[in-house]
Amino acid sequence: MKSNQKINIYNTLAREKQPFVPFRPGEVRLYVCGITVYDYCHIGHGRMLVAFDVVQRWLRALGYRVLYVRNITDIDDKIIRRAVENGERIAALTERFIRAMHEDADALGVERPDIEPRATAYVPQMLDLIAALEKNGYAYQAADGDVNYAVRKFASYGRLSGKTLDDLRRAERIAGNEAKGDPLDFALWKRAKPGEPPEAVWESRWGRGRPGWHIECSAMSTALLGERFDIHGGGLDLQFPHHENEIAQSEGATGQPFVHHWMHNGHVHVGDEKMSKSLGNFCTIRDAFARFDAETVRFFIVRAHYRSPLHYSPAHLEDAHRALTRLYTALKESPPDAEALDWQEPHAQRFRDAMNDDFNTPEAVAVLFDLAGAVNRSRNALLARQLKGLAGTLGLLTRSPHAFLRGDQSGGAELNIHMINARIEARRLAKRAKNYIEADRIRAELLEQGVILEDRPDGSTEWRRAPSARQHTE
């Protein structure tokens, strides 16, 4: 497709869908706030990774040249605290969890960003930004040595979140730091404290210390994408204060608008509450992989609109697996060829229109099911090609149908294929001997172990893994 396709994106800053027009024709510069690497990624992180993977995939499908930057926060208070608790070096802790993050993201089918900067590599750029803010009257060094941002100096503070300064002041609950000029001010540079690891300390004109969290993303994004770029994304919980503070920092330093479109994916909920570590109701991506294959987890995330709440439960993942199984089953009898998508075909047009409407994946997935139904009725290889190709733009249906249906490379229990085939043969012989009781017993035995048998019209039997199978077969 050509990049002149009209696409509307919900802009958090404007609180409405707006036509997307990049600063540079045919090119999209995209920055997404990534993971703070001190623990394993949870499902909320997985949602962010998948949501913006879909965004960058679709923009590329439209023909845009995309420069996708997703950072890694490898220095902050939580990281330092965890390293000290573990008695290990900060670099060892962050490297371990960066590897784990990559393993989880790769399993989810998340393509690596074009650039994945680490905060610790951009401290000089952070110091330059802080110096510019001090020069422009937005930053000051407090009596405790920290360098803070003077929030009230930035007249438009709060426009991203819709909060006024007076509202924020009334809602301020943090115990006052008397060194600050105002309780709303936030740290740009934190003076080093006694006992902190040496690797968490850098030299600066304001004394030895480390950067505040918010300045990290301002420095990395502007260094790699320029002072103005097209899209900045992240989880809804980052809208305030992190992204609000990024705007204040970046625009305070450069004097010009920072980002055109702000995108935020919705929270993951468990029951009626947001999933969070502080509530103890979180589930890591690896916890989910222990029960469900990774593509099922991806499909569970993709079939909800990125801005809507995502309700996590094993029952919802089981339903996602059943739905994904229906799509793969449609391809089993009509293996598609490798030709390019036909974007003029009616299903593809509907799919494109859905995705161009603020990445409406629920409607796009509905088109996939319509296509699957058409494939099942017609056994048409061209429609099967459309189904696989359109799903591929969402990072779905990338395996062979037989591999998926048999549970190959899934996150659950391993199945002994030789044993299954032997039991299927024993059942075939029992049926030939008209011993249907024994044939039914073998079917039930395999079902107990998570294997579903499907008898074909030609007399053969195929098998697939049940959605929630957890037993190991010996």
Annotated binding site: 33, 217, 242, 246, 277
The secondary structure of 217-280 as a DSSP string is HHHHHHHHH-SSEEEEEEEGGGIIIIIHHHHHHHHHHHSS--EEEEEEEPPEEETTEE--TTTT
Length of the chain: 474
Q: CA angle at residue 309 from 303 to 312, to 5 degrees? A: 75
- Specify which residues 72 forms β-bridges with: 35, 118
Q: What is the torsion angle, in degrees rounded to the nearest 10, for the CA atoms of residue 17, residue 23, residue 24 and residue 27?
A: -40
Sign of the CA dihedral with 117 first, then 120, 121, and 126 last: positive
Would you list which residues are annotated within the binding site for ATP?
277
Binding site membership for Zn(2+): which residues? Answer: 33, 217, 242, 246
Q: What is the CA radius of gyration of the chain?
A: 26
Q: What is the distance between the alpha carbons of residues 413 and 30, in angstroms, rounded to a whole number?
A: 38
Q: Which of 215, 211, 199 is nearest to 84 (CA)?
A: 199
Q: Tokens 């697939």, residue?
A: 464
Percentages helix, strand, coil for the chain (3-state, rounded to 5) are 45, 15, 35
Q: Quickly tell me which residue has 């079939």 as its tokens.
A: 303
Distance CA 193, CA 25 (A): 48
| Contact of 451 with 415, CB cutoff 8 Å | yes
Q: CA geometry: angle at 62 spanning 59 and 67, to 5°?
A: 35
Q: Spell out a b/e string for 74-94, using b for 16 or more CB atoms within 10 Å of the CB, else e.
A: bbbeebbebbeeeeeebeebb
Give the residue from 83, 426, 207 showing the smallest Cα distance to 418: 426
Pairing of strands 461-465, 8-11: unpaired
